[in-house]
Amino acid sequence: MEIVYLNPGFKKTLSPFENYSEKLGDFPIAGSTLSVLQEKRLKKYLSGVTSSEIKIRSDFWPSKAILEEIAKSSLGKVLNNKSEVILEISGANNVIQIDKDSTLVTYPWDFLKINEEIISELAESSILGTVRSGATIDGTIILGEGSVLLPGVYIEGNAVIGKNSKIGPNCYIRGNTYIGDKCHIGQAVEIKNSLLMDKVSIGHLSYVGDSVIGTETNFGAGTITANLRHDGKNHKSFVGDELIDTGRRKLGVIVGDGVHTGINTTIYPGRKIYSHASTLPGEIVKNDKR
């Protein structure tokens, strides 16, 4: 089975990760990349399909239901809401429409959704790093070579931690979290249901929830991300000049590469901080920050 990736074209809506727009497959998710995860998913569900070629758009994350229907009925094409082909099995002509459980990666929080799904499905732990006495693992984790969990670290649920990262002491990691390579999660930090790329440092006494954090970002001590509205409604976020519904009841911050926050920075939910921006000590981020 040969898998051919189709380029969906530039997507400015992925800001502040527009540098991945034309190479979506390279985006880091759950200790892998989007294209590698797509390939594994297709081979898992479509192993019985006799076609020699499968074409898929690099921004399409098909639901299990769609893949199971293709495998059962040899459906040939999946169309998006604009009747564009986003997945095609060569030699088959039947058509199915995209469903609500599939994802067309359009906004940065879509990466968070896929990350949640992949990590929640971890079935077996792999611990290649060091777990010090006094650290507690209450779930399924992947811990890369050279990484260490210091005393007082508590991991609840599933997590993927890359290579040469230092976690703790006294950290709380929960909710399908991915922490990349060469990261440092400091004393008394809580990370919940988030995606942290490589070389991220989250200073002590900080909270990061339902967030996507770009490479080489440093959060100063006491940086807090809010992730829930008082009225419980979905978060909205500006994309260009348009305020759109993210579809998420819980959403923290979307942070580009090389961002630095001052100590005691407070960030409103659903905000974006663009690459290489910084905040002052005690700053309150009420709007997207460039």
Question: Could you give the domains of the chain?
Answer: 2-106 (no CATH), 126-285 (2.160.10.10)
- Where does residue 149 rank: exposed (0-12), middle (13-18), buried (19+ CB within 10 A)? buried
Determine if the peptide bond prior to 16 is cis (ω within 30°): yes
45 versus 185: which is more confidently predicted?
185
Residue % of the chain over a pLDDT of 70: 98
Query: What value, to the nearest 5°, has the Cα angle with vertex 13 and ends 97 and 60?
Result: 30
- What average pLDDT does this structure show over 195-209? 97
| Calpha distance 81→85 (Å, rounded) | 10
Distance between CA 208 and CA 247 in Å, rounded?
19
**What band does 196 get if pLDDT is binned at 50, 70 and 90?**
very high
Joined tokens for residue 136: 């507690």
Confidence of residue 179 (pLDDT cuts 50, 70, 90): very high
What pLDDT, in 10s, does the model give residues 124-156? Answer: 999 999 999 999 999 999 999 999 999 999 999
With beta carbons less than 8 A apart as the criterion, state whether 140 and 161 touch: no
Identify the pLDDT of residue 22: 83
β-strands 266-267, 224-225 pairing:
parallel
- For position 162, what pLDDT does the model report? 98
Catalytic site includes residue 204: yes
> How many other β-carbons are positioned within 10 Å of the β-carbon of residue 95?
13
Within 10 Å of residue 212's Cβ, how many Cβ atoms?
A: 27
SS3 34: helix
The letter for the amino acid at 284 is: I
Which two tokens mark 47? 């192993």
